Amino acid sequence: MPCRCRETARASVSEVLLRFYQPFLQRYGSTMSPVQRSALQSILLCRTEAMGGHRYRCTHCRHEHFAWHSCNHRLCPRCGAVDTAAWVAHKLEERLSVDHYLVTVTLPAQLRPLCLIRGAEFYRKFSRSSSRAVKGVLADPRHLGGQCGFMGMFQSWRQDLLLHPHIHFIVPGIGLGKDGNITRLKRKGWLVHGEVFAKRLKSLLLNELRGTGWLDSKELSRLWAIKWNCDVKCFGNGENALKYLGRYVFKGPISDARIHKIDTKSVWIRVKDRKSRSYHPVEIEGVEFVRRYLLHALPSGFHRIRYYGFLHGRSREKLTQIRRQLGAPNPDDSSPKEASTPEPTPPIYHCPRCGNAMTHIEHRSRAPPWRRRIPRIWNTHSLTHRPLETTRPSKPFFVTAKWPCPPVPKYRMHPKNNTSKGKMHTRNNRTASEYSQIITNPNR
């Protein structure tokens, strides 16, 4: 697995945030929530010396290379690729051999300001009302007439990064009746009209908001009068739907591949036209890009993915019963793991200069929390703690910035072990000089 140097990397979301986060803080710093500040700091420090990592040396040319750990934040665009592939493979193995439907419910624009004001509390009400709407409609004997099982994934963005909360539900076209037998849809390839789900969601959510005092009677009357949107599509065996949603399970609202170019004031991103199905660049002001990106930092403790019905973790017996009636094997029993299975060998990294194999030299642990704090983001212009031990090496290998520069703590070296919390990556590693400017300069 050859490592990719920073010189060959293209423009990324983290570089956009690094370039425009200071003017963003000057304009919107007083309105940021702690969740947004934490997300911004994690993305800026992702794959830098602050997160720790591994040191490698080429066996031929003696070139040394560092692979820094990732932040594993769910808003970071560079983290979660391995977890996404594993999640999609696991869900494809667990899916039932029936038709799957993608039900998408969208929050009206009149209610989106509550997402910023009430945050997690309103998001939970929206998720709970949406799942109840799907359960209630499918429990009707005219549609499915049994207990359904489905998975829901929450998204809060659209192509241009504006706030657009909606939930995708992947619904298998099968249910479990009260007598324990499976129930099927009345019409093959057809679930329910989307307007039926939208009307049920409108009734459940507005009745729940009526007693909160968040909306007055006039606003509620307007919401009752408008038409709510819900889209229903058949995705066959569900493979394409799972792969589509899998791209957003452990990643942020935009990937590095969609960043077209960056200049001193603006950012160009690729946006897909739904009619022509082609991508075209759209210009967004740099500060506005950061503001839109941080709108999608979900509150702490809010689960983006939820399972309902017989797909819930506590309903494994019902799911096994459905598989038995369908004649499908249980994925937990179909491929038992042998006790003598050897452990996977670690990947071999190749030198970016000569291409020969590189050997692992040492592991560096993460910096302490107070050293991973960017003062500018948290409105603190001086660190409250002082380094425990500092040193000025004659030939520093850890910090490549030229001296004089703020001293770097001398952390203890650990042998290679399994105690590191981050994952090893070698793509888009930030230079130490950039890290030193972020961490040690209190005016940034």
H or E stretch at 23: helix 13-28
Residue 165 falls within a domain, yes or no? yes
Residue 236 falls within a domain, yes or no? yes
pLDDT of residue 338: 45
The number of folded domains in the chain is: 1
d(C-alpha 411, C-alpha 414), whole Å:
9
Contact 77, 254 (CB under 8 A): yes
Residue 212 falls within a domain, yes or no? yes
Residue with tokens 């990397």: 9
* DSSP string for residues in 302-333: --SEEEEETTSGGGHHHHHHHHHHHTPPPHHH
Residue 114 falls within a domain, yes or no? yes
pLDDT of residue 343: 59
pLDDT of residue 218: 92
pLDDT of residue 357: 86
pLDDT of residue 443: 46
Amino acid type, 401: A
d(C-alpha 230, C-alpha 156), whole Å:
15
Q: Is 403 exposed, middle or buried (0-12, 13-18, 19+ CB in 10 A)?
A: exposed
Q: What are the two backbone dihedrals, phi and then psi, of residue 218, each rounded to the nearest 5 degrees?
A: -65, -40
Residue with tokens 């099982």: 149
Residue 414 falls within a domain, yes or no? no
d(C-alpha 140, C-alpha 146), whole Å:
8
Structural domain boundaries, residue 223: 81-250
Collapsing DSSP to helix, strand or coil, 393 comes out as coil
Q: Is 351 exposed, middle or buried (0-12, 13-18, 19+ CB in 10 A)?
A: buried
Bridge pairing between strands 149-157 and 163-172: antiparallel
pLDDT of residue 347: 65
Q: Cβ atoms within 10 A of the Cβ of 131, count?
A: 21
Taking only the tens place, the pLDDT of each residue in 302-354 is 899 999 999 998 988 999 999 999 887 777 665 444 444 555 666 677 888 88
Contact 407, 387 (CB under 8 A): yes
Contact 101, 138 (CB under 8 A): no
Residues 6+ apart with CB under 8 A from 56: 64, 65, 66, 67, 349, 358, 359, 360, 361
Residue 186 falls within a domain, yes or no? yes
DSSP 366: P
Residue 214 falls within a domain, yes or no? yes
Amino acid type, 131: S
Residues of the chain with pLDDT under 70: 1-10, 332-347, 380-444
Residue 172 falls within a domain, yes or no? yes
